[in-house]
Amino acid sequence: MTPVTSDLVVTAAVRLDAAVPDRGGVVWGEGRAADGGRVQLVRRAADGTTHDLLPEGSNARTAVHEYGGGAWWVHGGVVFTVDWSDQRLRRVDDGVVTLLTPEPAVPRGDRYADGDVAPDGSWLVCVREHHPTAGAPATDVVNEVVRLSAVELSEPEVLVSGPDFVAAPRLSRDGRRLAWLSWDHPSMPWDDVVLTVRSLDSGEETVVAGGPGESVSEPAWHDDGSLTFISDRTGWWNLYRWTGSSVEPLVVLDAEIGEPGWQLGGSRYAVLDDGSLVFARSSDGFDVLVVRAVSGELTELDTSFSAIRSVRADGDGVVCIAGSPVAEPGVHRVSVAGAVETLRPPRDLGLDPDTISVPEPMTFPSVDGDGNARDAHALYYPPSGSVSGPPPLLVVIHGGPTGAATPVLAVGLQYWTSHGFGVVDVNYGGSTGYGRAYREQLQGAWGIVDVADCLAAARALASAGRVDPERLAIRGGSAGGFTVLASLARPDTPFAAGADHFGVADLEALARDTHKFESRYLDGLVGPYPEARDVYVARSPLTHVGEFSTPLIVLQGDEDAIVPPNQSEMIVSALRDKGVPVAYLLFAGEQHGFRAAENIKRALDAELAFYARLFGLTVDVPPVEIENL
């Protein structure tokens, strides 16, 4: 097999961020790498024709929570969207753009997201995140639900204020009631969330679900006034309905319907006009679409999809973004009978399906923070094509750390398997997709359980003879970057190389410097700060530079507000001074994750060149400068 190149990874590459049926057609968002990662909205009309909706240079992206999501929504042919440049909300109607929110006193100081429009289209509700000053400390940032005109510029009216965070404001079908989610520090949206309903006529409020130990998400109204939502009250994110007087279970499975609320506006299920439901459920890391009839009967749909999101009702079925191990995500319409119509196909990559590396679920023994035996999970991708002898292994760590490895064709991953690497994508303890108990295994144990599982995955594959134990590498971004550093800053590390993408080197600095959404996240993963300062210091990779001897490549965006560049610069400086081989690439204009095609390409090729130099591989990519080698 000809190796997948970085050019193929980025050529015509898009990120599909949501898909919404509208007036017989569908609108979806495309983050286009060739245009610096800008998100353009595309409408596919009922006749199959497509056209861009936003003016050239627009970028439908919100900075709420820094991770964004829910940057646009649609009602009756009208698109409401937030632009990255100023974070103001706009109405786009047949090409006419109308600003709906005032210019804030602080540039980009008022950020909007996750909206819903009244039935008559005259007003809307959404989340607003207010930053009173440039670079305001996390304690000064205010998150609220606001109401404003949907047709003209107006001053938003605050409907919900007080909780540290709010999300998913949703209007009942008659527009007379509002449902929303809220949570407070130090909880995250997968920890303790409250679902509240308010009568907009009387102001009477009802707490429907949630509280300590229960994560609630995705409220959705029915025509009869009942409200569906996702809750993990049984230990799994399942479906429930509030009738107005009580809550009843709709779907109870040992599988996950919900997903962690890193971004706003997610949708894992849809309410159809006849009252039936279509939802995505995850089991052993793989998604399946399921129909729940009004009678309660469940039917799994026979599609090829293994990763599914943005599930939205559309007639007798749903529109969703979905992909498989041999196809990138596309936009598809799926009927309740399982018929699939592809509306926005994935790229034609020109790859022979037989040469694509398909993930194998694996469960392997590991230990918890106290050394007790437990199982961990991963997806293993064998190298594609013929390989002489056991291949080098690349251990991949997803970000989050409350996230999950996704079994969908990712050309960036095939880049490695096509170059002769085996790749194991680890769903370490703390990952989602395996229930709340598994997700909580990382509580108080970040830097311990995740590291143990990454080491155990590599050793399990090496012991089985599937990979070369002398050529083990580890890579990860964000929280995954922290796990990379923690896995290398120890004398017993089995890894011969590592790649840190905008990872955390100093936990104490992160606790002091990060943004509001994650400013108390470490309370659960490490301990409350500053009370547990000694734990922060002990867990920080920077503290253990003396035990660090593995060559490392570090890649960082210079505008990253989530893990600031100083985190990368601290570890690079320390390794440079210690004489450890290190390479450092800083990408101008990039935030948390690389979006521009030229930067994605350079990052991949530089990392491959780094491994090739260390492992004696022959590759056709530009070299990278490695200090101290």
DSSP string computed for 154-178: -PPEEEE-SSSEEEEEEE-TTSSEE
Residue 68 C-alpha from the chain's centroid: 10
CATH superfamily of 353-615: Alpha/Beta hydrolase fold, catalytic domain (3.40.50.1820)
Q: Which residues pair with 425 in a beta bridge?
A: 379, 396
Q: Would you say 256 and 282 are in contact if contact means Cβ atoms under 8 Å apart?
A: yes
Q: What is the pLDDT of residue 385?
A: 67
- The pairs formed by 234-243 with CB atoms below 8 angstroms and a separation of 24 or more are 235/435, 235/436, 235/437, 236/435, 236/436, 239/269, 239/277, 239/279, 239/292, 240/209, 242/197, 242/208, 242/209
Structure tokens at 80: 């409401």
- Which helix (H) or strand (E) is 463 found in, with range? helix 449-463
Amino acid, single-letter form, for residue 271: V
Cis peptide before 530 (omega within 30 of 0): yes
Distance, in Å, from the CA atom of 446 to the CA atom of 285, rounded to the nearest integer, reads 21
Q: What is the pLDDT of residue 315?
A: 93
CB atoms within 10 A of CB 385: 13
Q: Would you say 175 and 195 are in contact if contact means Cβ atoms under 8 Å apart?
A: no
Instruction: Give, as one character, the DSSP assignment of residue 83.
Output: B
pLDDT tens-digit series, residues 34-68: 898 999 999 999 999 999 999 999 999 999 999 99
* Euclidean distance between the first and the last CA atom of the chain, given in angstroms as a whole number: 32
Q: How many alpha carbons fall within 13 Å on the CB side of residue 177?
A: 21
CB atoms within 10 A of CB 94: 8
Beta-sheet strand order (sheet of 110-117): 110-117, 123-130, 142-149, 157-160
Residue 464 gets the label, from left (phi > 0), alpha (psi -120 to 50) or beta, of alpha
Using alpha carbons, list the distances in angstroms from residue 169 to 50, 159, 198, 328: 30, 10, 11, 31
Distance, in Å, from the CA atom of 443 to the CA atom of 70, rounded to the nearest integer, reads 28
Distance, in Å, from the CA atom of 116 to the CA atom of 128, rounded to the nearest integer, reads 13
pLDDT tens-digit series, residues 430-468: 999 999 999 999 999 999 999 999 999 999 999 999 999
Q: Where are the domains of the chain?
A: 353-615
Relative orientation angle of helices 479-488 and 449-463, to the nearest 10 degrees: 70
Pairing of strands 25-32, 38-44: antiparallel
Structure tokens at 78: 């009208």
Q: Would you say 422 and 382 are in contact if contact means Cβ atoms under 8 Å apart?
A: yes
pLDDT tens-digit series, residues 574-624: 999 999 999 999 999 999 889 899 999 999 999 999 999 999 999 999 999
The length of the chain, given as a count of residues: 629
Instruction: Give, as one character, the DSSP assignment of residue 382.
Output: P
Distance, in Å, from the CA atom of 624 to the CA atom of 629, rounded to the nearest integer, reads 12
Amino acid, single-letter form, for residue 98: T
Q: What is the pLDDT of residue 563?
A: 87
Structure tokens at 409: 């064709």
DSSP 90-104: EEEETTEEEE-SPPP
Q: What is the pLDDT of residue 415?
A: 96
Relative orientation angle of helices 597-615 and 411-418, to the nearest 10 degrees: 20
Q: Which residue ranges of the chain lie beneath pLDDT 50? A: none
Q: What is the pLDDT of residue 87?
A: 98
Beta-sheet strand order (sheet of 472-477): 360-367, 373-381, 422-427, 393-397, 472-477, 497-501, 552-557, 582-587
- The pairs formed by 608-611 with CB atoms below 8 angstroms and a separation of 24 or more are 608/415, 608/416, 608/419, 610/497, 610/499, 610/551, 610/553, 610/583, 611/392, 611/394, 611/421, 611/473, 611/497
Closest CA to 26 of 336, 310, 408, 329: 310
Q: What is the pLDDT of residue 387?
A: 74
Q: What is the pLDDT of residue 168?
A: 98
Q: What is the pLDDT of residue 131?
A: 97
Instruction: Give, as one character, the DSSP assignment of residue 447.
Output: T
Using the CB atoms, write b or e for 512-540: b if 16+ within 10 Å. ebbbbbbbbbbbbbbbebeebeebbeebb
Closest CA to 510 of 567, 430, 461, 595: 567
Distance, in Å, from the CA atom of 629 to the CA atom of 626, rounded to the nearest integer, reads 6
Provide the H-helix boundaries in 555-617: 565-578, 597-615
